[in-house]
Amino acid sequence: MKPDLRAEAGTSSIFLDRELSQLAFNRRVLAQAEDRSIPLLERLRYLCIASSNLDEFFEVRVASLLAAASVDGPLSEHPALAATLGRISQECHALVEHQYEILNQEVLPQLQAKGVHLVRHNERNEAQRAWVKEYFEREVRPLLTPIGLDPAHPFPQVVNKSLNFIVSLSGKDAFGRGTGIAIVKAPRVLPRVIRLPDHLSKSGGVSFCLLSSIIHAHISDLFAGREVIAYSQFRVTRDSDLWVDEDEVKNLRQALKGELQGRQFGTSVRLEVAMNCPPELSQFLLDQFGLHQSRLYAVNGPVNLVRLTEMIDHVNHANLRFPPFYPGVGRKAPGTDIFSELRQHDILLHHPFQTFQTVIDFIRSAAHDPAVVAIKQTIYRTGMNSDLMESLLTAAREGKEVTVIVELKARFDEEANINWADKLEQAGAQVVYGVVGLKTHAKVALVIRREEGELRYYAHLGTGNYHPTTTKLYTDFGLLTCHPQMSQEVNEIFIHLTSLTKPHKLTHLWLAPFALQNEIIKAIRNEARIARAGRPGRIIVKINALVDESVIRALYAASRDGVKIDLIVRGACTLKPGVPGLSENIKVRSIIGRFLEHSRIYYFRNDLAHDVLLASADWMSRNLFRRIEVAFPVLDRALKRRVIAEGLNPYLKDNTNAWDLEPDGQYQRRKPRGKQAPFGAQQFLMQSLGTPASEAGD
C-alpha cells in the first residue's frame, strides 16, 4: 500500500487554493505594468488586461461560489465557503488598490511627460473647458435620461459593467416633492475616451478626457432648480454565466439567444464607486444590489480601467509601443499548392511567431478546389470577422459538404458564434452544436479530397482557436497533416460528435471526456515505472492551468519515484512544488510576456521515445470531463524536435519573464544569476522564427 500523500507531506492540504492561485496570476500581469523596460502604452495595456481579468474572475468564479452557497441557504451557514470568499475579497481589494496606484503614480504621469495627457476637469484650461462643454451639449446631454427615484420611478435596471452615476439632490422637484436621489446612465453608444482637438493640446502632444469626467463636470446641468449635493460614478458586475436546461430545450441556439439579453442583468457580485463617494450613497447602492459591504470597491479613478484601451488605440507614438513584429511563413514552399506540400511532409506552425495565414489558405484552397468534396471544422472562438469562416460559406455555396460544429456556449463569444451558425445554415452547411452538457473545445479541421478515384484526408489540429485576432496575440501550435491514420481518426471524431455514437477506438488521438485523463495518468505512471527501474524518468508539460486533483496526485507519486518534472503553467496551479516527501522533484514556473502563453504541450521521455503531444486541453477537471478535447501526437521526428526546441526548452531557460512557484503559493520572479545573460523565450522565438522588418516591407 502506498503511503498517504497528505500525511507524508506533513501539511493540512496538498493542494493550493485555486482562486488565490488565479489571483496570483493577475499579480504577475500587474508586474508587467510596473516594469520600466516595457513601453508605456504597453504598460497601460497590461493594466487594462489585469482589470479585464478581474472582471471575468468576478463574473465567473466569484459568481459561481456565491451561487453554490445560495443553493443551500445563506452564506453564514457555509463557514468554509465564507472564509474562502473572505480571502478572495482581501486579495481583490489589495489588487485593485495596487492597480490604481500604478495608474496614478507611474503610468499616467510618465505618459504625460511623453506628451500623452489624460486631462481631468480641474486640470483643463479655459479653452478645453469650453470645448468639453460644447461636446457635452451636442453629443452627450441629448442621450442622457436622468431618473429621479420615487414610487413611480423605481431604481432602474443597471446593465452589467456599465457606467452610471448616482446623484444626491437637495430641495424639491418640479412637483414639490423631496425626491433626493437620481440615477444617470451613461449611454453605451458613446465612446468612453474622447480625444481633444490637437490645437487644444500642448505642442506636439495629444490630450484625452474621459466620458465620466465630462458627465461629472456638467451633472448639475441635468437638474435645473436643484442643488447637487454629492454624486459618484458607479459600476456593478454581475454573474455572466449563461444557463439553459439543455435536457429540456429543443433548439439550443434559440434558447441561448434569449439568455444573452438576460446576462446583462444577472445576480450582482461587485459594486465599484469613486473613492470620494459618500458612505450613504454607496450603502444605498449596496442595498439596491443586495450586496455585502465587502463587495464594495472604492477606486481612485475611472471605475472601468478596461476602457482605457480606447486611449491606447488612438495614440500613434511608436516609441511608446512594442516594436512591430512580422511573423515567419512556416512553410518550406510558400505559394505552392498546400495539398501537394502536405503529401510530402507535415507542416508544424508556431503562432504568433509564424503566421496563421497558412491555416486560412488551407481552408480557402479547399473551398475553391474542385477535388475537395467535404470540409469539416470545429468552431469555439472565431470573432465577428473571419476570412476562414467566409471560406466555409463559399465552400457551402459551391456545393461542397460542409459540416461545422459550433460551440454556442463559448463564454463571451456566444453572439458571434450564433451569427456565424445562422449564416452557415443559410449557405447550406450542416451546423450542429456539439454534445448536450459538454463544450466542444477541440480545435480540429478536416478536408476530404478525391484523388485518383480515392478519398484522401487532410487535417489541421491545433492548441488555439480559429480566431484572426488571438492568433496574433496568443502562443499556439498547429499541425497540418495527411497522415492516413491520424486524419481518419479526426474524421471519426466528427462522426462521433454529429451522430452521438461511440467513437471507434482511437490509436493516435486522446479524446476527452472518454480517455484523455486516463491517458495522461497512464503516461505519468509509465515515467514513474521507468524511474523505479533505475532509468531516467522525465516529464515536461506546458499548459494554462493545473487543478485536476487526480492528475496532480499522479504527478506527486511520480515525483516520489524519482521522475524529474517541469511544469510551465501560465495561470492557476494548485500543485505544491518542492515539498519534501511529496513533490521535491517538481518545479513549476509561469511565463508572462508580450504574448499570452496559450499552447498546451505534453512531453514524456518514455525511454528515449520522446513522446510529444499537443492539445486543446489544460489539466482541469472541466477540460478532462466536461468538454470535447483532443490531444494529438507529433509523429515526425524533426517536428518533435522543433516542439521541444521552441515550445519547451526556451521556456525552461527563460530568466526575464519567468516566475517560479514556491510551496506556499507565492511566485518569485526569476532573474539572471551571476554572469548569466538575460534570456526571454518569446524574444528568442521572435528573432528565430519571425520575418525581418526589411523583408516584410517595413
Give catalytic residue positions. Answer: 441
Q: How far apart are CA 565 and CA 331, in angstroms?
A: 33
| Cell 524518468, located at residue | 537
Q: How many CB atoms lie within 10 A of CB 84?
A: 17
Q: How far apart are CA 448 and CA 458, in angstroms?
A: 6
* Pairing of β 372-379 and β 401-406: parallel
479: helix, strand or coil = strand
User: Quick one: which of 201, 271, 179 has its CA closest to 234?
Assistant: 271
**Contact call for residues 428 and 397 (beta carbons, < 8 A):** yes
Binding-site positions: 53, 381, 411, 474, 570, 598
**Contact call for residues 192 and 310 (beta carbons, < 8 A):** yes
Q: How many CB atoms lie within 10 A of CB 677?
A: 7
Rg (CA), the chain: 27
Can you spell out the DSSP letters for 180-228? Answer: -EEEEEPPTTS-SEEEPPGGGSPTT-EEEEEHHHHHHHTGGGGSTTS-E
Task: Enter the C-alpha cell of residue 135.
Answer: 461636446
User: Quick one: which of 398, 511, 399 has its CA closest to 461?
Assistant: 511
User: Quick one: which of 446, 407, 432 has its CA closest to 498?
Assistant: 432
Nearest 5°: CA angle at 522, between 646 and 500?
Answer: 90
Binding-site positions for Mg(2+): 381, 411
Q: How many CB atoms lie within 10 A of CB 316?
A: 8
Binding-site positions for ATP: 53, 474, 570, 598
Q: How far apart are CA 253 and CA 641, in angstroms?
A: 43
* Pairing of β 401-406 and β 627-633: unpaired
**Contact call for residues 236 and 183 (beta carbons, < 8 A):** no
The answer to whether the peptide bond before residue 352 is cis (omega within 30 degrees of 0) is yes
Task: Enter the C-alpha cell of residue 35.
Answer: 516594469
575: helix, strand or coil = strand
